[in-house]
Structure 1
Amino acid sequence: MSRILQYSILIVFIFLAGCNSISKYDDNEVAAIVKGQEITIGDLRFLYPDDTALDYLEWAINVELVKQEVKDMSLDISENLSDTDDWFEELPPKNTTDEGGKQIRKFAESQARKLDMKPEEYQQEYAKKIDEQNAYIVTYLEEKLGKAEFYGEKGMVEFNEKSNYLLEELVEENEDEIEVLIE
């Protein structure tokens, strides 16, 4: 999978943040139902800080729709999964001087405390979940738009616009089968 495409998806993912808290909800509570598949508060809490997790519900719905669409189309995501030695599974060392590494470590430590896990264990599981989500999205986008080839920033912007349109269209097509239970 193209690293540029992976980073583009991750950047979109990160910038969706706001400030809604889910700490008042139980992990087993259902936040949304997408074509019969439940997205729980626990699913959101695992991937995001409590104070922003609800802001990602729309993204989680998009990911679930894409996942179901890819399965319905009998597409194989394995080509778009990262190698097992992926750098993202490794937690940066405690003494890292890299600002990005510090943020990743701080996030993993915070989430691990919340979930009663070791930070390294959390980072590995988190990386696998994000990698799988990215693989489904990239597989879907490649099926619909072809392999992403960027020739400068303009090409990336155009591809992102087409991708966003496809995701919005997918949500609209399945609107009647999406039930948001928590806001």
Structure 2
Amino acid sequence: MKACLFISSILLLLQIETILDTHAQQLAFVGDPQQETLEERRARIEQFIYKGPLFLQDDSVTAIRNLGEKNEVVETDIHSDDPSQYGYIQGSKIWKWDGLEIIGFEFEESYGRILDPSEQILKKVRPELITITSPRWKLLNGLEVGMSADRVIEVLGQPQRREGDALIYGGEPSEVTFYINENKITKIIFWYYGPD
């Protein structure tokens, strides 16, 4: 009987150790906000801003158009004479899917350099604004619409500023805003003001 209790105790201790190891690994991956320097915190937030949208790893126009289901995307040109589109670069486009909107500037990869006549020109997108309203669109560190606002703070630390129910990280030239309702993320917006 004592041998069974001893073995059970050892197994319980091993389970506890495994749980603690897993938690320590998660903290190491995310970063412990209590132990990092200001520079490390800025770097972590900047990494999230620029690498956060996992669905946007390929910035070619073709890849953007192929996000989501076939024929799901709606693509619209921005015209400078439309007052609702004030502030966006002439030639920008809006791509919309269920739960995702990307406003970006379409450009040729060859911009600013002389091309060899045989070289194929690849069109790319520089995002200006990414709006996410669905958990369908995955982000770095597992952050997504619908999860607890506490998880944002766990991953990115306290926001640099708050505006109402919005948690804002970063700043010029780029930032990410988490909109919160009843402690749940309802919308995430990535703003890219300058060159990335």
> Is the pair's TM-score, using the shorter chain for normalization, greater than 0.5?
no
Larger helix share, 1 or 2: 1
Larger strand share, 1 or 2: 2
Q: Which has the larger radius of gyration?
A: 2
Indicate the structure whose relative CO is greater, using CA pairs within 8 Å and at least 6 residues apart.
1
